[in-house]
């Protein structure tokens, strides 16, 4: 069968790599892909913001299954466009993807269905925000300020006091620093605890939890600096205990799916729940409507069930008949980022040492923002350049392997966190 993967980052590199492991898959296409993906798949230069064009091309190419990595196309209705043409697609409809596309929708949805989350209020003017602070609804400061719409991980701010909160709110609502994404905002109680990501495959009825993963969102060691798309991740068999997993499934994931269904919406794809494990129990920080990046780079290498079988089961609504099997190994991913990331990113820097890094035992080098320049040299093309991933018998071995490979790659301004999966982190 022919498979199409939408996206061009480290997550999509891992998806393409894993999909190709099934004998049933004769060819993989990727739009737009990157320099690393191009070694495995046929890259297509199509704008991901054009859902109907993507669906038409997929039909012409005889694609039998399409999977979408990033959120933007889903929120724009790419799943609906494929479904209209009778094509099998893994990723929620536009209506279901609103769980990620609108934080206001997500929060109000959780309130309607009694899904545990931080106390919140929605506002559209600075005056409304001041009233909310005066009412002490959010229990003082710090508070979390979130832009309603998609902002590539840059729409969430933790404000330590009223003055800074109002500054951020002014920036969003009046100066429109994030454009339309910040036309409405959510103000939230600031939760404390350990963060974890919980992902499930679902065909709308059945669900299958993925191996738990932890990602590292802040730019600097010790969780300092700005929020990023993710600077690293790990997955190991003992990351989340079984009783907590059951609790999350029962009190959060299942009510989310049945809540959507009761509103006439079927979620088919990957539901990603970002959680804070507080002293009062798990609370939802956010929903994503897709696989995480870089979580995917550590989850898929541990998957023993053919990935394409799981994807087909999601699309066909036969997930209840599938059991996902996981290896007992641990996986660690260290993201190599460009100078200036996440605020800016130096690009066009030649990358060396890729072959050397790949020779390290257990290492999988997933390209993220890479391309070939006119001379054929692989150069950087964005913020998160490479997802250097390694499997190991345990977390310490996977970590040591990933860092050894990360050190072997060189490009000007290379940045990475040194504490991914460290016992102290
Ligand atoms: P989100 O995109 O909503 O997951 O937010 C990005 C990051 O902001 C999360 O991964 C958390 O680290 C932090 N965050 C979001 N909401 C809260 C909250 N209510 N309390 C504390 N931290 C939060
Ligand atoms: N790693 C966080 C995300 O994919 O949203």
Rounded to the nearest 10°, the torsion over CA 259, 260, 262, 268 is -130
Q: Is the CB of 115 under 6 A from ligand 1?
A: no
User: Could you tell me which of 226, 238, 264 has the C-alpha nearest to residue 341?
Assistant: 226
Q: What domain range is 153 assigned to?
A: 119-189
How many CA atoms are closer than 13 Å to the CA of 87, on its beta-carbon side? 28
SS3 367: strand
Name the domain boundary from 93, 109, 140: 93
What is the CATH classification number for the domain harbouring 29?
3.40.50.20
Q: Which ligand sits nearest to residue 153's alpha carbon?
A: 1
Sign of CA dihedral 379, 382, 383, 386: negative
Length of the chain equals: 425
Name the domain boundary from 279, 303, 321: 321
CB 288 within 8 A of CB 267: no
SS3 125: coil
Q: How far is the CA of 2 from the centre of ligand 2 (A)?
A: 27
Q: Residue 421 domain-assigned?
A: no
Element (H, E) at 7: strand 2-7
Q: Is the CB of 190 under 6 A from ligand 1?
A: yes
Q: Give all strands of the β-sheet with 65-68 in edge-to-edge order.
A: 42-43, 27-32, 2-7, 65-68, 89-90
Q: How far is the CA of 391 from the centre of ligand 1 (A)?
A: 29
Is residue 315 located within the same domain as residue 334? Answer: no
Q: Residue 52 domain-assigned?
A: yes
Q: How far apart are CA 11 and CA 14, in angstroms?
A: 5
120-123 vs 156-159, strand pairing mode? unpaired
Is residue 199 located within the same domain as residue 83? Answer: no
The DSSP bridge partners found for residue 405 are none
Q: How far is the CA of 287 from the centre of ligand 2 (A)?
A: 10
Is residue 181 located within the same domain as residue 201? Answer: no
Is residue 199 located within the same domain as residue 314? Answer: yes
Q: Is the CB of 184 under 6 A from ligand 1?
A: no
Q: Specify the ligand 1 atom closest to the Cα of 274.
A: 4
Is residue 184 located within the same domain as residue 198? Answer: no
> How large is the angle between the packed helices 162-173 and 126-135, nearest 10 degrees?
150
3-state helix, strand, coil in the chain (%, to 5): 35, 30, 40
What is the CATH classification number for the domain harbouring 172?
3.30.1490.20
Longest dimension (CA), the chain: 62
Is residue 15 located within the same domain as residue 126? Answer: no
pLDDT in tens, the chain (425 residues): 999 999 999 999 999 999 999 999 999 999 999 999 999 999 999 999 999 999 999 999 999 999 999 999 999 999 999 999 999 999 999 999 999 999 999 999 999 999 999 999 999 999 999 999 999 999 899 999 999 999 987 899 999 999 999 999 999 999 999 999 999 999 999 999 988 889 999 999 999 999 999 999 999 999 999 888 899 999 999 888 899 999 999 999 999 999 999 999 999 999 999 999 999 999 999 999 999 999 999 999 999 999 999 999 999 999 999 999 999 999 999 999 999 999 899 999 999 999 999 999 999 999 999 999 999 999 999 999 999 999 999 999 999 999 999 999 999 999 999 999 999 87
Q: Is the CB of 210 under 6 A from ligand 1?
A: no
What is the CATH classification number for the domain harbouring 357?
3.90.600.10
Q: Which ligand sits nearest to residue 156's alpha carbon?
A: 1
Q: Specify the ligand 1 atom closest to the Cα of 188.
A: 19
Nearest CA to ligand 1 atom 19: 190
Name the domain boundary from 160, 189, 218: 189
Q: Is the CB of 206 under 6 A from ligand 1?
A: no
Q: Residue 98 domain-assigned?
A: no
Q: How far is the CA of 285 from the centre of ligand 1 (A)?
A: 5
Q: What residues does ligand 2 touch, defined as CB less than 6 Å away?
A: 215, 230, 288, 292-293, 295
User: Could you tell me which of 238, 200, 199, 234 has the C-alpha nearest to residue 216?
Assistant: 234
Is residue 182 located within the same domain as residue 221? Answer: no
CB 64 within 8 A of CB 282: no
SS3 286: strand
Is residue 200 located within the same domain as residue 292? Answer: yes
Instruction: Count the domains in the chain.
Output: 4
Is residue 82 located within the same domain as residue 8? Answer: yes
Q: Specify the ligand 1 atom closest to the Cα of 146.
A: 3
Q: Which of the 8 DSSP states describes residue 302?
A: G
Q: Residue 419 domain-assigned?
A: no
Q: How far is the CA of 158 from the centre of ligand 1 (A)?
A: 8
Other beta carbons within 10 angstroms of residue 24's beta carbon come to 13
Q: Please tell me the predicted confidence (pLDDT) of residue 188.
A: 98
Nearest CA to ligand 1 atom 14: 285
Is residue 70 located within the same domain as residue 142? Answer: no
Is residue 225 located within the same domain as residue 134? Answer: no
Is residue 178 located within the same domain as residue 273? Answer: no
How many CA atoms are closer than 13 Å to the CA of 137, on its beta-carbon side? 16
Other beta carbons within 10 angstroms of residue 163's beta carbon come to 9
Q: Is the CB of 334 under 6 A from ligand 1?
A: no
SS3 119: coil
Q: Which ligand sits nearest to residue 384's alpha carbon?
A: 2
Q: Specify the ligand 1 atom closest to the Cα of 103.
A: 3
Q: Residue 124 domain-assigned?
A: yes
Nearest CA to ligand 2 atom 5: 292
**What are the tens digits of pLDDT across the range 194-222?**
888 899 999 999 999 999 999 999 999 99
Contacts (Cβ under 8 Å, ≥6 apart) of 254: 207
CB 293 within 8 A of CB 230: yes
Q: Residue 141 domain-assigned?
A: yes
Q: Please tell me the predicted confidence (pLDDT) of residue 425.
A: 79
Q: Residue 402 domain-assigned?
A: yes
Q: How far apart are CA 348 and CA 156, in angstroms?
A: 29
Q: Residue 258 domain-assigned?
A: yes
Rounded to the nearest 10°, the torsion over CA 333, 337, 343, 349 is -160
Q: Which of the 8 DSSP states describes residue 375?
A: T
Q: How far apart are CA 276 and CA 193, in angstroms?
A: 6
């Amino acid at each position: 069968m022919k498979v199409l993967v939408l996206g061009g980052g480290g997550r999509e590199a891992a998806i393409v790599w894993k999909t190709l492991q099934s004998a049933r898959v004769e060819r993989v296409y990727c739009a737009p892909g990157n320099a690393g993906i191009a070694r495995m798949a046929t890259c297509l230069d199509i704008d991901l913001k054009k859902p109907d064009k993507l669906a038409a091309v997929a039909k012409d190419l005889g694609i039998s299954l399409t999977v979408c990595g990033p959120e933007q196309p889903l929120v724009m209705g790419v799943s609906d466009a494929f479904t209209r043409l009778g094509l099998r697609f893994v990723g929620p409809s536009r209506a279901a993807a609103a769980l990620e596309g609108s934080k206001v929708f997500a929060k109000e949805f959780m309130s309607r269905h009694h899904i545990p989350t931080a106390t919140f209020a929605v506002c559209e003017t600075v005056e409304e925000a001041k009233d909310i602070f005066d009412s002490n609804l959010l229990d003082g400061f710090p508070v979390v300020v979130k832009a309603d719409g998609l902002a590539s991980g840059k729409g969430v701010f933790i404000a330590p006091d009223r003055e800074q909160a109002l500054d951020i709110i002014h920036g969003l609502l009046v100066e429109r620093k994030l454009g339309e994404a910040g036309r409405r905002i959510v103000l939230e109680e600031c939760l404390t605890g350990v963060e974890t990501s919980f992902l499930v495959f679902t065909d709308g009825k059945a669900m299958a939890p993925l191996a738990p993963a932890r990602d590292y969102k802040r730019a600097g060691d010790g969780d300092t600096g700005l929020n990023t798309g993710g600077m690293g991740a790990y997955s190991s068999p003992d990351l989340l205990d079984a009783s907590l997993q059951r609790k999350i499934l029962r009190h959060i994931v299942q009510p989310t799916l049945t809540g959507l269904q009761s509103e006439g919406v079927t979620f088919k794809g990957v539901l990603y729940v970002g959680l804070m494990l507080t002293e009062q129990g798990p609370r939802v920080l956010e929903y994503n409507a897709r696989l995480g990046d870089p979580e995917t780079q550590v989850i898929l290498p541990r998957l023993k069930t053919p990935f394409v079988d799981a994807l087909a089961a999601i699309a066909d609504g036969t997930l209840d008949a599938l059991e996902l099997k996981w290896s007992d190994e641990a996986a660690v991913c260290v993201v190599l980022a460009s100078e200036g990331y996440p605020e800016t990113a130096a690009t066009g820097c030649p990358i060396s040492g890729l072959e050397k890094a790949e020779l390290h035992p257990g290492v999988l080098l997933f390209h993220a923002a890479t391309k070939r320049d006119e001379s054929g040299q692989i150069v950087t093309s964005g913020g998160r350049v490479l997802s250097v991933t390694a499997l190991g018998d345990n977390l310490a071995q996977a970590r040591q392997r990933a860092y050894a490979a990360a050190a072997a790659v060189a490009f000007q301004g290379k940045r990475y966190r040194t504490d991914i999966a460290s016992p102290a982190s």
